[in-house]
Amino acid sequence: MLPLGLQVVFGLDAGISFAYGEDSTDKNSAEKDSAEKRQYENVKTRKRQSVGKNCANKLEAVQAVLGSETEPTDEQLNGIAHQLNEFMSGGCKASYEKSQVYNLLGFVYYSLGDYTKATASYQSMVAEPDVDGRQKIDTFYTLAQLHLMLEDYHSAAQQLEDWMAASAVAGTLVSNEGKVLLSQVYYQLDRNTEALKLVSAAIDSVERKGELPREHWWLLQKALYYEKNGARSKKKGDLKVVSILKQLITHYPKDTYWHQLGGIYGQMEEDDHRLASLDILYLDDALTKSHDLMSLAYLYLGAGVPYRAAQIIEEGINQGAIESTGKNLETLGSAWQQARETKKALVALEQAAQLSNEGSIWSRLAMGYLDIDDNAKAVQAARKALRKGHLKYPSYTRMTLGNALVNLYCFQDAAEVFRDAAKSQKSQKAANQWVAYVSGEAARRDRLIESGASITSCKLP
């Protein structure tokens, strides 16, 4: 498909006709001239240019090939390019005639994929003194598109600026598509303030008419607002990005926009909104990455809904979407513990403990065993946790170990563990109370044993 400017300038669908002189103008062309005169009433006028008969015959022969239903081959196009270059040295020497030859040359080179030569041809066209005013304006736009294809953004910007300036002089409205195109070019040149102004004007224009802006317009505007504000939370730019993403979700619904919305809410530290965004993706089976699923689970944990967090992690692990790492399994066990699902928690924590060298998992496991009164396993897990280390609060693990030992009637061992726990300020008071209790209980049991009483003795695992 031709770029917009090429479609307007060349007009293949309608065909090209060349005026041989003023006496050849019929009623239709007179009406066309009148319309053009009205369109360019603010432009300095001059006598309408025409193509001489000799040149016209040559160009119409070329047009017949280019405008045929059968698409010309590259060989034919190269032949036409050669002919057109020869026309300017014989038959098409006048400035206006040359402008028409350059116009056709630009199209031929474009069709061949030689954008550099196409650009040079159109630049020669607009440089001709007697080039048609309307064609010149349209060709600025074509040149901008060609420069974009060549990734020459500075030249593309210049051509679009010339196009806008010439359109203003001619009293022609600049299209919203043109504004957005220049906005895209400015974005490439890091002229973001100007880019944002243009794309916002285009969006506002169509919205005032009750029309829907194009998807890529909003995407460009979103990118510009985001870069303008960076990652700073709760700023106007962030709120504007949220607003744009909501528009995109409403009118061009895609999972990627929900992902982006959740990310912005995360930057703004609005976890409730982020949770809602991710949960919508989860319910739509669009949350498939381990990182995203675990993020949702953590959000549910933070919101005080551990059961839902555990369900998400367990389902993800069973389906292979979440990796069965020690950390993930520990989080699953912790979630089940918080949800008071101790047996489920123990299953997850036992698996996590086998995959990790961290004492924290064994400490959690010890607490779980103590909760279900499996004191022997609680003692084993707590001791292993203390040996492995990496515990944030070792005294808490010692308190768990001491309680399990008490339940096993190992009072002397428990007293020793509680004394160690009392060395930490965090558990000092409770540990000392336990020391007093088990010391007294141990002495009482010793007296009973001396009296011949039959008492259950310590049964260390």
Instruction: Show the 3-state SS of 201-263.
Output: HHHHHHHHCCCCCCHHHHHHHHHHHHHHHCCCCCCHHHHHHHHHHHHHHHHCCCHHHHHHHHH
Q: How far apart are CA 405 and CA 407, in angstroms?
A: 5
Identify the three-state secondary structure at position 253: coil
pLDDT in tens, 117-166: 999 999 999 999 999 999 999 999 999 999 999 999 999 999 999 999 99
pLDDT value of position 44:
38
**Domain boundaries defined on the chain:** 1-40+48-174, 288-356, 380-461
- Torsional class of 97: left (φ above 0), alpha (ψ -120 to 50), beta (otherwise): alpha
Q: How far apart are CA 249 and CA 284, in angstroms?
A: 14
More confident residue, 334 or 234: 334
Q: What is the CA radius of gyration of the chain?
A: 40
The packing angle between helices 326-338 and 290-302, to 10°, is: 30
Confidence of residue 98 (pLDDT cuts 50, 70, 90): very high
pLDDT in tens, 182-219: 999 999 999 999 999 999 999 999 999 999 999 999 99
Identify the three-state secondary structure at position 322: coil
Say which CATH topology domain 288-356 has: 1.25.40
More confident residue, 453 or 363: 363
pLDDT value of position 185:
96
pLDDT value of position 238:
79
User: What angle (nearest 5°) sits at the alpha carbon of residue 169, between those of residues 163 and 173?
Assistant: 65
The count of other CB atoms within 10 Å of the CB of residue 96 is 19
Contact call for residues 213 and 220 (beta carbons, < 8 A) = no
Between the two ends of the chain, the Cα-to-Cα distance in Å is: 81
pLDDT in tens, 238-291: 789 999 999 999 999 999 999 999 999 988 889 999 999 999 999 999 999 999
- Match 């930490």 to its residue by tokens: 424
Q: Please enumerate in sequence order all residues whose Cβ is within 8 A of that of 192, keeping only pairs 6 or more positions apart, or say none.
A: 186, 224, 227, 228
pLDDT value of position 23:
34
**Is residue 157 exposed (0-12), middle (13-18) or buried (19+ Cβ within 10 Å)?**
buried
Kindly state the tokens that stand for 275: 């949770």
Kindly state the tokens that stand for 268: 């703004």
Contact call for residues 207 and 213 (beta carbons, < 8 A) = yes
Q: How far apart are CA 125 and CA 96, in angstroms?
A: 9
**Is residue 45 exposed (0-12), middle (13-18) or buried (19+ Cβ within 10 Å)?**
exposed
Q: How far apart are CA 172 and CA 62, in angstroms?
A: 31
If you ran DSSP here, which 8-state letter would residue 23 be given?
G
pLDDT in tens, 36-70: 444 434 433 343 467 888 899 889 989 888 888 88
Q: Helix count (H) and strand count (E) of the chain?
A: 23, 0
pLDDT value of position 230:
61
Contact call for residues 301 and 338 (beta carbons, < 8 A) = yes
Contact call for residues 264 and 244 (beta carbons, < 8 A) = no
Give the CATH class of 1-40+48-174: mainly alpha
Q: Please enumerate in sequence order all residues whose Cβ is within 8 A of that of 363, keeping only pairs 6 or more positions apart, or say none.
A: 381, 382, 385, 391, 396, 397, 400
Contact call for residues 273 and 266 (beta carbons, < 8 A) = no
Give the percent of the chain with pLDDT over 90. 67
Kindly state the tokens that stand for 403: 């309680």
Contact call for residues 12 and 67 (beta carbons, < 8 A) = yes
More confident residue, 54 or 27: 54
Question: What's the mean pLDDT when you consider all of the chain?
Answer: 85
Q: How far apart are CA 150 and CA 154, in angstroms?
A: 11
Q: Please enumerate in sequence order all residues whose Cβ is within 8 A of that of 35, keeping only pairs 6 or more positions apart, or say none.
A: none
pLDDT value of position 457:
75
Q: How far apart are CA 248 and CA 252, in angstroms?
A: 5
Q: Please enumerate in sequence order all residues whose Cβ is within 8 A of that of 403, keeping only pairs 6 or more positions apart, or say none.
A: 370, 378, 414, 434
